[in-house]
Structure 1
Amino acid sequence: MSKKVVEVKTLKVGKYVILDGEASKITSISTSSPGKHGSAKARVEALGIFDNQKRSIVKPVDTKIDIPIIDKRTGQVLALMGSDVQLMDLETYETFEVPIPDDLRDSLLEGVEVEYILAMGNKKLMRTKG
């Protein structure tokens, strides 16, 4: 599992964070001002990359939090198999299967190059190239 540790105050909208053991994309961050007896707190809301679930946490801005290391790669479609697609990585020539997202169902053809992400042992098809 590849991850880094950063402080909550360095997070930005559109970046990734690990919440409940899932890699998630940050949708909003709001911070409260420090009170008389406490430190400033940040509320981070995120959407899971692989399961599309909303998650949120509230933590002091100076606490540490894990962020996933996301690897963006290129692959080629080998075969369409119902709701899955078989891809071949263009660097390692490894073949694997991933589910087809609904928005890419019409644009996938055999031989097309696609971009996918690899995070925390999971793979997800993102977009077609070209």
Structure 2
Amino acid sequence: MDADFEGGSSGASATYPIQASALRKNGYVMLKGRPCKIVDMSTSKTGKHGHAKVHLVGLDIFTGKKYEDICPSTHNMNVPNVKRTDYMVLGNNDGFLTLLDDNSEQRNDLKLPEGELGDSINQKIEDDEQIMITVLMALDEEQVIALKPQTK
């Protein structure tokens, strides 16, 4: 009986629990249902009801929106499984990037990001420059977050 463990992208494995007191700045956490990077955190002393509280401030890794949450330090918080992947950019087809991964597999389903990053990716494609992009993936969402020249 062969079990197929390929492509573990079920919703259950999108996050994992970690005790709030074990979270660290620059780590990831789910705040208000969104995957966030922790930019600030502080722990209050135990009050008369006995629980230290952790105050978390995070920025949504996709939108940059700021979220805050307070929870007891002994409670578990969900941490998103965040994956970074680098792709070689082959072109832009109607706003969708044509990309090549490390296994030489092509994909055409990632949208060109808006704003400055998208503009500079487009410019480099037009200039026939070889570039790589970094894609951040969490909770079935993915977004281009960085651009770098390709090095062989």
Normalised by the length of structure 2, the TM-score is: 0.74
Question: Any gaps of 5 or more consecutive residues in structure 1?
Answer: none
Whose strand proportion is higher, 1 or 2?
1
Q: What is the RMSD of the two structures over their aligned residues, measured on CA atoms?
A: 2.0
Unaligned runs of 5+ in 2: 1-10
- The whole-number CA distance in structure 1 between the counterparts of 2:35 and 2:79 is 8
Higher Rg of the two aligned structures: 2
2:59 maps to 1:47: yes
Match of 2:133 among 77, 90, 114: 114
Percent identity of paired positions between Structure 1 and Structure 2: 22
Alignment-derived partner of residue 30 in structure 1: 42
Task: Count how many residue pairs are aligned between Structure 1 and Structure 2.
Answer: 129
Q: Deviations over 1:35-76 (max 9, x none)?
A: 222210011011111122211111000100100111111112
Which residue is 1:90 aligned to? Answer: 101
Structure (1/2) with the larger helix percentage:
2
Q: Is the 8 A contact 1:75 1:87 kept in 2?
A: no
Question: What letter corresponds to residue 13 of structure 1 in structure 2?
Answer: K
TM-score of the pair, normalised by structure 1:
0.86
The answer to whether the Cα contact below 8 Å between 2:91 and 2:98 also exists between their aligned partners in 1 is yes
Cα distance in 2 for residues equivalent to 1:87 and 1:47: 29
